[in-house]
Structure formats: structure tokens, C-alpha cells
Amino acid sequence: MGLEEKLGESIITTRLDTVLNWGRANSLWPMPMGISCCAIEMMAAVGPKYDMARFGSEVMRFSPRQADLMIVAGTLTYKMAPIVRRIYDQMMEPKWVMAMGTCLCTGGMFDSYPVVQGLDHVLPVDVYVPGCPPRPEAVIQALMTIQRKIKRGSTIHHVSRSDEPAKITFPRTETPIVPKRSDTLILNMGPQHPSTHGVLRLILELDGENVVQCVPDIGFLHRGFEKIAENKRYHQFIPYTDRLDYLAPLSNNVSYAMAVEKLFGIELPARGQAIRVIACELARISAHLLSLGTYALDVGAGTVFFHTFDEREKIYNLIEKLAGHRFTTSYTRIGGLARDASPEFLTELSAFLKELPQTIDEMDSLLSNNKIWMQRTKDVGVISPELAISYGLTGPNLRASGVNWDLRKDMPYNGYEKYDFDVIVGKNGDAYDRYWIRLQEMRESMKILNQAIDGIPSGPINADVPEVVIPTKEEVYTQMEALIWHFKVISDGFKAAPGQIYSAIENPKGEFGFFIKSDGENKPARVRIHSPALRSVQIIPELIKGKMIADVVTTVASLDPVLGEIDR
């Protein structure tokens, strides 16, 4: 080429557009607008296995002014929509938007009154990522699509779409706080804040660095689960339970199935129960790993996050082998399970259980005696046993306060009485104890898993109740009778006798239960979900009143709330 020949080999010529776009495409700084379940998969995409850093996008920026790609991940409610729009408006041009998950594409499975039926009702969207949630691979592909789009675009004449108005009318954003003093500062934390574990909003009244009072504002992820349940047949609601506590879908599935089974008076055979125990304990380890990883990250110890996410990926692979899905499992059926656990799965699980202690020991050595960690967490957010009970705390948060209460021991289900494990109880009820309890509980879960694998009984996984339990696929494909029963059980459902029950299990976060009222129809008349994390959020103002603002983050992270089940 004429000019380049004269300039020599070290200089190439190109168009300014191309250079700028090349730069932009390869250094995208995402603004992670993590709202619900999809956010966990977005975090997985950043984690060590998928490593989005390969695409120059490792710098997640929670400040809109430093970001140029907004990854919206999770169900968008009308209450959340104005916040998303405002943060988008605050981002600098040029900017791009990725709508991650079916909820943001079309409203998805949440065809309910609080949910905006697609992100494009609020923002101009560049890439839609279908899936519920999409796998991390899909997120990366979407990122590459945006890169291609950027490279195709014209820089000099960049056409901004940010003037496009929202297609819905936003509700008014309220700040429900009455200041106690006149010389204080009101600080808004969330709903879009990395340390609120979702879309929790804390309104803080500050005197310097001291918190005068705190008012939590919830409902940004209210998807109307309980109302949806009234319009779904019993089987149809199982996929929704995945998205309640989206850190432990398997455990939610078991809880819901057990509640409906109690309504119908169904008892599972031994093998089905053992597999359910395996599912619950896997979910517990996975949830605690995430909880501790993000807890440490919030307090400033970023390393742990990468260790735990590496292990979580291994668990996801195991879950995929067991249930067919890595994240939203929908593994249980009323009166049974979607499919049996294969021998290969059990072998792989025991191999994994041999590796896992190493990671837990690593975490232990990284944090347990770490001076900074101890200074940040010891004597912070102390809950006395009386206070914990009066607020209705359950699970690790209750046990950290020294109350020995675990549904697996105290009201055993699924044959938990047969397993040998200890209930870990804390002493001080502070943030450190809550960390320590979760660490130890993972070790206890491993004990249970090992026993479950060794002693897994043979036999059927489903109860023998043809009116309720769906026939296996093999039977459906070969037998007329089984096909009809499958067809009718799925399309018409089955009717419970009028009555009401409450059934709960020990979820990673505590007592997770369903109240179901039936009036004799094939759909429940009313469903109420007992959420352990809702109690944890209620206690936050009590814990951080008069404390330092830096302790707010520690306290919230140590309580480990998950907004999917709080807002429901």
C-alpha cells in the first residue's frame, strides 16, 4: 500500500472509527444490574471457570458513570423499573444494554401484576439473552455479540438511543423514613448496591459515621409468587419454587413437594427420600459457599469469592448430572423425583466430596484466624438468643446465637434421623459466629452426603400413587394407560381434599415452609411461603442502630438475605 510502504513496518493506517471501536469493544466495563436469579449466573460468568476477563470485561463497575455496558439480570418489577432507568440515564454515552434472561425478554414465567413484561418497556435494549436463567456461556456470547455490534458501528456519528422514553408509567419512588434528628444525613443504600445481596434497599440516617436509624425497604423483587400459585395446578408451581431462594433451588423443590405431599398424605419410598437428602445437602453446600464468598468479598477479601465459585461450578456440574439443569432444577415431582440418581452421579459426588474439604480448609485458613477479618466481624451485629427468637430467626443465624434448633434434628423429615451429624451452635451471635457456623455446616453436610451415598437404598424413587405421580417417560411412550394417566395428571391436575397444612424443612437459610390451603380444586386456594430471610432483614435495623456505617455491610452480608424469597 502506498502510504504504509513509506511509513515503515511499525506503523499501520486505519480509520479512526475502527480504532475507537476496537478499543471500546475490547474494554467494556459492565454495570452489573443484578436483580434476581440471573445475577447469580452473571457472577458465574465472571467467576474462575468462565472468566469474562478474557474479553476485557473483568472490571464490573457498580457506579454507572464508570460503566458502558449495562447487564440487567433478573426479573424487573414496576417498583424496580424507575431505578434501572435512572442508572441507565446516568451512564455515559456511548452505552449498551444486555437484557439477560427471559423475564427481561418477555416477562417470562412471571405473567403477574408486579412484573414489567420485558426490559424494552423501560430501556432500549441491544442484546436479548433468552434462558431462565441463561448459562454463563450465553452471557459470554451476548457479550461477543455486543462487541461485534460496537465494531460495526460508526463512532463519529454515534446514534444514541438513550432518549427513547420508557413505555410504562413508573410508580412514585417513596423514601419511607422519618428523621429522628435534624442534624443528620439521610443516605440511601440500594436497591442497586453490591453489598445488599440483591435488591434490598436500606435507608440510613447518619450522624457522621454512626447510624442513627435504618429503615429497610423491600418489594423490589415482588413477583407475586403466592398469587401465581393460586392459578397454577400443583405440579405447575414447582418451577416457580426454583426462583424463590435461587441460591438453593433443589432445597426449595423438596420443601414444596413435601408440603403438597403432606396435603395428599403421600409418603416417599426410602430411595426417593435419600436422593432428596442428597439434593438438600448439595444445595446447602452450594448456598453456603456463595454466602461466604460474597460475605468475604463485601468485607474486602476478594480471594475467597474465586475459591468458592470454583467449587460451586463443580456442584453445578453435579446438579446438572442429577437434575438435568445446573441452576433452576425443578427436580422434584409431587410424590417423587423427576428422575433417578445414576450410579455415575454418586461416584462423581463421592469423588467431589474428597476434594471439597481442601477448599473449605483453605477458606478456614484464609479467614478464621485472619486478624483483619476478625476485627471486622467479631462483636459486630451481635444477636442475643432472646432477640433472635423474638424476631423469629431460624437456621444458621439462630444457631450462631447459641440456640440449638435445627429442623433436621428436631422435627426430622426424609429420614434425617438416620444420619449421624452435629448441629453446630455458636456462642456470641456476632457476624464472626455466623461465618463460622456456615463453614462448619458445610463439613456436617459432607458427613451426611457421605452417609447418604454409602447407604443409598435400591428400589423405586416415586410413591405408588398413580392419581398424583406422573408415569415415567418410558411407560408413557409404550403404554396407552400410562399415556392417558400422564395426560390427565398434567392437563387436569389432581384435586386435594379441602383442608390446610403447613410443612417446612431446614433450608440453607433456615426454616423454609409452605402453607397450603385447598378448597377441593386442582389448584390451591391459598399458598403462603414462610421465608427465613425475611426475618433476617427485619432484624437489621436493630443490629446496626448506633453502630458504624462500615458495619452495615458486614451485618447484612453475615445475615445472608436472598431477596427472591423475601419479596416473593
State the residues that interact with another protein by CB under 8 A: 111, 113, 117, 121, 167-168, 466-467, 471, 475, 477-485, 487-488, 491-492
Helix axes 270-299, 343-363, angle to 10 degrees: 30
Specify burial of residue 237 (Cβ count, 10 A radius: 0-12, 13-18, 19+): buried
- Which C-beta is closer to another protein: that of 102 or that of 536? 102
- Which C-beta is closer to another protein: that of 182 or that of 491? 491
Q: Beta strand pairing status for 201-207 and 185-189? A: antiparallel
Grid cell at residue 20: 475507537
- Which C-beta is closer to another protein: that of 99 or that of 287? 99
- Which C-beta is closer to another protein: that of 233 or that of 288? 233
- Cα within 13 Å of Cα(374), Cβ side: 7
CB of 171 to another protein, least distance (A): 12
In whole angstroms, what is the distance from residue 324 CA to residue 345 CA?
12
CB of 125 to another protein, least distance (A): 17
Cell 455491610 maps to which residue?
Answer: 553
Cell 398424605 maps to which residue?
Answer: 265
Please state, in angstroms and as integers, the Cα–Cα distance from residue 504 to each residue in 252, 261, 262, 291, 347, following that order: 10, 12, 10, 22, 30
CB of 338 to another protein, least distance (A): 19
Query: How many other C-beta atoms are found inside a 10 Å radius of the C-beta of residue 389?
Result: 15
- Which C-beta is closer to another protein: that of 121 or that of 517? 121
> CA torsion angle for 454, 458, 460, 462 (degrees, to 10)?
-10
CB of 480 to another protein, least distance (A): 4
CB of 481 to another protein, least distance (A): 5
Q: Max CA-CA distance within the chain?
A: 90
Specify burial of residue 368 (Cβ count, 10 A radius: 0-12, 13-18, 19+): middle
Helices (H), 324-430: 343-363, 371-377, 385-390, 396-399, 407-410
**Nearest residue to 445 (alpha-carbon basis) of 400, 411, 406, 402:** 406
- Which C-beta is closer to another protein: that of 10 or that of 478? 478
Residues in a beta bridge with 219 = none
Helices (H), 53-128: 81-90, 102-106
**Nearest residue to 133 (alpha-carbon basis) of 329, 331, 280:** 329
- Which C-beta is closer to another protein: that of 148 or that of 167? 167
CB of 482 to another protein, least distance (A): 6
CB of 73 to another protein, least distance (A): 22
CB of 164 to another protein, least distance (A): 16
Helices (H), 364-497: 371-377, 385-390, 396-399, 407-410, 431-454, 473-478, 480-491
CB of 492 to another protein, least distance (A): 8
CB of 78 to another protein, least distance (A): 9
CB of 487 to another protein, least distance (A): 4
- Which C-beta is closer to another protein: that of 113 or that of 502? 113
- Which C-beta is closer to another protein: that of 158 or that of 488? 488
Q: Beta strand pairing status for 510-518 and 526-530? A: antiparallel
- Which C-beta is closer to another protein: that of 439 or that of 482? 482
- Which C-beta is closer to another protein: that of 47 or that of 118? 118
- Which C-beta is closer to another protein: that of 278 or that of 463? 463
Please state, in angstroms and as integers, the Cα–Cα distance from residue 487 to each residue in 180, 234, 240, 331, 490, following that order: 61, 15, 21, 20, 5
Whether 39 contacts 564, CB under 8 Å: no
- Using DSSP's 3-state secondary structure scheme, residue 493 falls into coil
CB of 498 to another protein, least distance (A): 20
